Amino acid sequence: MSADNGIYILKTAGPEFRVAHLQSIDNLYLDDNGRRITDFSALAENARKMFGRQIIVKDETRAFKVARVLANKVRHDFGFLEYGIQLIDFSFLNLNENLLTPPTSTKNSQVEILEAEKKALKQLVGTYQKDLEILSCQVRLMHDTLEKVRSMTNDQSLKSLIDLTLAQIKSSNSFVGLG
């Protein structure tokens, strides 16, 4: 079972840093219907919901110190911190005013917005890649455990059941290197 949690540092215009222990960080990029957000006002609203009550720190080094303290507390209290400490760079976003940082020119602002979207998407892809890596490891572990149990048992019905399960794992999870 996945804790799907981490300590996230949200960097916004100013710069300002907000540190929070959150689960399901991918919800930052999704609307209420589970679709990817395509406008900044919705992104700002999600950021405000998830990080708005956090203390604002003006220094990145201090933000990471706060994050380390919080990470130690979470590990102590819950025993698990799946994604560790992550920085989410929304420097383009002025969270206090729900506005993008005013651009120096229209052409630059479009480039800045595209770059910001690109960064946000890379972070989201990175989160999904981590989830996939964890899932792949879990499937490999289950596969290896079943193989070991199969080699240790003399019960033919159990071996048949294990063979069927292994075949299903291999056919449905070729991405983990078993198929």
Which of 102, 118, 141 is the last residue in one of the domains? 102
Is residue 128 located within the same domain as residue 176?
yes
Tell which residue, 106, 169, 174, has the closest CA to residue 142: 169
Reported as a pLDDT band with limits 50, 70 and 90, residue 98 is very low
Amino acid at 118: K
User: Is pLDDT of 102 > 50?
Assistant: no
On whether both 11 and 97 belong to a single domain, the answer is yes
pLDDT digits (tens, 9 = 90+) for 127-138: 667 767 777 777
Q: Is residue 85 predicted with pLDDT exceeding 90? A: yes
Query: What pLDDT is stored for residue 34 in this prediction?
Result: 85
Total-model pTM: 0.54
98 and 11 share a domain? yes
Specify whether the CB–CB gap between 8 and 22 falls below 8 A.
yes
* pLDDT higher than 70, residue 177: no
Expressed as residue numbers, the domain containing 114 is 105-179
Domain end marker among 46, 81, 102: 102
Q: How many structural domains is the chain composed of?
A: 2
Top-confidence residue, 54 or 133: 54
Q: Is 13 exposed, middle or buried (0-12, 13-18, 19+ CB in 10 A)?
A: middle
> How do strand 85-90 and strand 5-12 relate by DSSP bridges?
parallel
What residues contact 27, with CB distance under 8 A and at least 6 apart? 46, 50
**Which carries the bigger pLDDT value, residue 132 or residue 10?**
10
My answer on whether 25 and 96 are in the same domain is yes
Q: DSSP of 71-113, one letter per residue?
A: HHHHHHHHS--TT-EEEEEETTEETTTTEEPPPSSHHHHHHHH
**Residue 7 — very low, low, confident or very high, per pLDDT cuts 50/70/90?**
very high
Among the residue ranges 24-33, 67-76, 134-143, the one predicted with the least confidence is 134-143
Check whether 168 has a pLDDT greater than 90: no
| Pair 48, 28 in one domain | yes
